[in-house]
Structure 1
Amino acid sequence: MELSLYSFEFESSQGKTLIFADPHIGFEPFRGINVRSRFERKLAEFVISENPDLVIILGDIKEDLGLKRYTQRVLMEFFSILKDYEVIITKGNHDGRIEEVTENFDNISVVDYYILDEILFMHGHKSLPEVDFKRAFLGHIHPTAIISLSGVKRRAKCFVKAKNFVILPTINPFFEGMDIREGIRLIPFLKNLKTVDLLIPPSIHIEGYPI
């Protein structure tokens, strides 16, 4: 899977800005996988290939809810590769004790939310902060939708547009995701929506998807 399909890039006042959500680095032992995927290295190489001026990770940088030694080691490897890039992490529900790793890197900031050019960036598991913004990017729910292609139904990762909010799918290729009908209930300020618009990479656009 091309990681670029499940990330987003735009030009901001900080230059070329790369956004992605929910990498869940170090997931293998917590998902019963005995073979290292080396996903953290593939993700770092993807960032380097894009050469952004700013990287915004919309939370759940790691799978471990705490910070086991394995998780710490994998994160150190990941962040060491990205030492030349400015990285903002909007803290997610899986990011407990993440600061114990990021404090070793001057280029990495961990925040509850981030505002850039009147755009709000946050994970999505908490209530909205009391700040002004025109649009927002979220993660958290790993959205997928059930679509029919040539008469065969399948689950597909998707971007979700709901009002002035855009929800990104997980960038982790080993995670399928959650049905948007269930996932949207996990975002406190969007849980009462009735329809959303979907973009299923690379080119399927669905308006008014019922939830």
Structure 2
Amino acid sequence: MLQTRLIQSKPALILEGKKKNLIVTDLHLGFENTLKSNEIFIGKNSSVNETIEELSEIIDSENPDSVILLGDIKSSIKTISKNEWDEVPLFFKEIRKKCDLILIPGNHDANIQKLVPENITMISTTGMVEENVLLTHGHTMPSENFSHIDKIIMGHIHPVFFQQDSIMNGQRV
């Protein structure tokens, strides 16, 4: 049976059975563009570099077999922004160096297949099942009857931006 464990003070979860999976969701890489269009500047590529660094530290300390991304890797919904063309592949490349990556796309991930390298497993938006656990972003209905499911782990929440000297500190992005 799979066990779940929150990683204290980190935006991640461990799902462990035969394999150890690190679950992460709603990174919204490239959200700086939205802020910039509203004349709020937090620095180019600051979130992707911080995200790579923080996730790398978690991977190094937890040593998972894979990272399962529960969607909303990028920020824009219907398009791929200029920043996302650079940041999302960089994120995948750097994290893939450390362990396997599995992606369940979210509602912000339109056309993300154009940014995903071949060495990353991409699952349907309806999610995936690991033993008795459904993993999904949460914006679509699962495609099967999941009467055997005991737990659902999902994303579809929006992160809060933290930077003490910013007017955006504590705001959802």
TM-score by length of 2: 0.73
Identity percentage of aligned residues: 27
TM-fit CA distance, 1:78: 0.8
Conserved? CA contact 2:23–2:68, under 8 Å: yes
The partner residue of 1:58 within 48, 56, 70 is 70
The partner residue of 1:7 within 9, 12, 15 is 12
Aligned match of 1:28: 32
The partner residue of 1:107 within 92, 117, 120 is 120
Distance of 2:43 and 2:151 partners within structure 1: 40
1:125 aligns to 2:139 (yes or no): yes
Conserved? CA contact 1:7–1:171, under 8 Å: no
TM-fit CA distance, 1:105: 3.0
Conserved? CA contact 1:67–1:97, under 8 Å: yes
Distance of 1:80 and 1:171 partners within structure 2: 25
Distance of 1:121 and 1:138 partners within structure 2: 6
Distance of 1:134 and 1:89 partners within structure 2: 22
TM-fit CA distance, 1:173: 4.9
Conserved? CA contact 1:22–1:171, under 8 Å: no
Structure with larger Rg: 1
Amino acid at match of 1:89: L
Conserved? CA contact 1:58–1:138, under 8 Å: yes
Question: Could you tell which deviates more after superposition, 55-64 or 25-34?
Answer: 25-34
Structure 1: state its 5+ residue gaps. 143-169, 179-211
1:25-174 equivalence runs, <5 A: 25-32=29-36, 33-36=41-44, 37=46, 38-49=49-60, 50-65=62-77, 66-84=79-97, 85-102=99-116, 104-112=117-125, 113-132=127-146, 133-142=149-158, 170=159, 173=162
Distance of 2:42 and 2:10 partners within structure 1: 27
**Counterpart of 1:111 in 2: which secondary structure?**
coil
Structure 2: state its 5+ residue gaps. 1-6, 164-169
Q: Return closer, same or farther for 1:9/1:176 CA change in 2, 3 Å cut-off.
A: farther
Conserved? CA contact 1:20–1:171, under 8 Å: no
Amino acid at match of 1:126: T
Matched length: 148
Distance of 1:98 and 1:134 partners within structure 2: 30
CA RMSD of superposed structures (Å): 2.6
Q: Return closer, same or farther for 1:60/1:77 CA change in 2, 3 Å cut-off.
A: same
